[in-house]
Amino acid sequence: MKTMQAIEAGSISNGRKTLVFGLDWYVVDEGVSPRKAGLELARDIRGKYDLIATRRESAQQFGLTLSSSEVAAGAYSAASTVAEIAQEGSWIYVLEVNSLIWICCGRDGYILPTGDRLFDSPELAKQAFQDLGPSSFKKLYLPASWKVDGAKAGDFTYVADNVEITDLEDFIRCNPPKWGRLARVSSLGPAIRLAVAVALVLAAFFGLWSMFSNDFGGKPDEREIREIRARQIAEAAKEAAIGRKKRWAEYDSFRPWQNEPPAYVLLESCVREIRQTPATSVGYQVGLITCDGNGVTTTVARTTGYTDWLEEWAIMHPGIEISADGTGDTGYLFRRMSNNGARGAENISAFAIVSDEILRTGQIDGATVDMTLPVARVVQDDPEYIPVFATSAYEIKTRRPEAWNGVIAGTPGITIESVAYEHSEKTFSFKGNLHVKNR
């Protein structure tokens, strides 16, 4: 399927109201602040985003875009209006915006990540519409010209009865929700925050000085002024240091490996589950078997017979869910696993120590070991902060996964993303991340 290229964000104004089309939308987990998550993303990708719209009530998400001569803070996201119109369920909303075509789509009340796009070609827009699979959406909104053209060409006849007509003038008259208002992404770095704090205490100082002069007819001499100013600056620096210490402690508390299950437990569980997976299925040949801790997925390729055979075979193996592609040539067997709990606090080691032990085990086992150099996550707003850990990605291929149980159990900060077994090569591979000391 070809990817349809959309153009950058655009806008249209009606009096004092400006609507913006073409934001990038992101969904956040429950309990996470959409605004905080959006600001962090915008700061991490500097130069791409500087405007944000955040949504909390019915859906946890935020939209980002870049300001221009047409797009500025105070304008409203057009997609927010559609989200309010469509409410629950799924929708595709197509609107002719002068010479452009705008497509907005969403599911379960959320605006989809790529569901807010402008096209300057009707052909590209119609192809993008078809690629969305419009028959799978409950609500469809199309321009009148699309419905007429579709009836003639036969392209959109299956939506002719359940489509609502869109009109730009009617759309502009709709009142966008308050959450759709774009705000500027702004941040103050540590040096600027200190300068502001100093400015505030000095302003307070000069305000007191002015009051003292008016009430008592005098003012401090130059030496007293320097002493007071030095004390105020020292207090501001102290407050900045306290704030910095608090922020850095918060950064240090982010240790993702502590929320993951023990790597050796996950490895043992996955290897055991993979070996318990049936090696054959009627009419199908087993290929790759993968395990991520939540379940085991087996990919099978048809050699003889029919898709029904796979379904009948699955009935004889309780606990296995099956699916197949449109032709039935490729099938997937899935068996759920019980989740392992988080490992909790775990002190990490230096990369040199961890990597030496892993490479030594690889040489003894005759395994293939790939590791990247560790990289630390930089906090853009606090460039002086040194992260407590760095991350290295690894992948290990072996015929004897049991040979790795000891070293995995003895490596703090290691996580496993997935374990795979290539049936034709009789080879296991597992990959994940090494979290190692950075300071």
Domain assignment present for 349 = yes
Q: Is 201 found in the same domain as 125? A: no
Are 17 and 76 contained in the same domain? yes
- pLDDT tens string 288-341: 899 998 899 888 888 776 667 677 777 777 778 878 776 778 888 888 888 778
Q: Domain check: are 436 and 358 in the same one?
A: yes
Per the domain annotation, does 212 fall within a domain?
yes
Rounded Cα distance between 78 and 2, Å, is 26
| Same domain as 218, residue 167 | no
**Do 178 and 207 fall into the same domain?**
no
Q: Which of 180, 186, 199, 230 is nearest to 57 (CA)?
A: 180
* pTM, two decimal places: 0.49
Of the residues 166, 184, 202, which one is the last residue of a structural domain?
184
* Amino acid at position 128, single letter: A
In a domain, 100, yes or no: yes
pLDDT single digits (tens) 103-153: 999 988 889 888 899 998 899 999 999 888 888 888 899 998 887 554 444
In a domain, 161, yes or no: yes
Question: Which pLDDT score is estimated for 194?
Answer: 43
Q: Are residues 200 and 264 in the same domain?
A: no
Identify whether 340 is part of a domain.
yes
Q: What average pLDDT does this structure show over 78-82?
A: 93
Indicate if 287 and 224 belong to the same structural domain.
Answer: no
What phi, psi does 30 have (nearest 5°)?
A: -60, 135
Q: Which domain holds residue 229?
A: 190-252
Going by pLDDT thresholds of 50, 70 and 90, the confidence category of residue 212 is very low
384 pLDDT more than 50: yes
Same-domain status, 315 and 374: yes
Identify the weakest region by mean pLDDT among 53-62, 126-135, 164-173.
Answer: 53-62
- What is the total count of domains within the chain? 3
- Chain centroid to Cα 113, Å, comes to 10
Residues 232 and 377 in one domain: no
Contact partners, residue 288, CB within 8 Å, separation at least 6: 298, 299, 420, 421, 422, 423
Distance separating alpha carbons of residues 60 and 50, to the nearest angstrom: 20
Question: Of 157, 184, 211, which one is at a domain's C-terminal end?
Answer: 184
Q: Which of 47-56, 60-69, 325-334, 402-411 has the lowest mean pLDDT?
A: 325-334
- Both 301 and 325 in a single domain? yes
**Assigned domain for 259 exists:** yes
* Rg, C-alpha atoms of the chain: 30
Of 220, 252, 284, the domain-final residue: 252
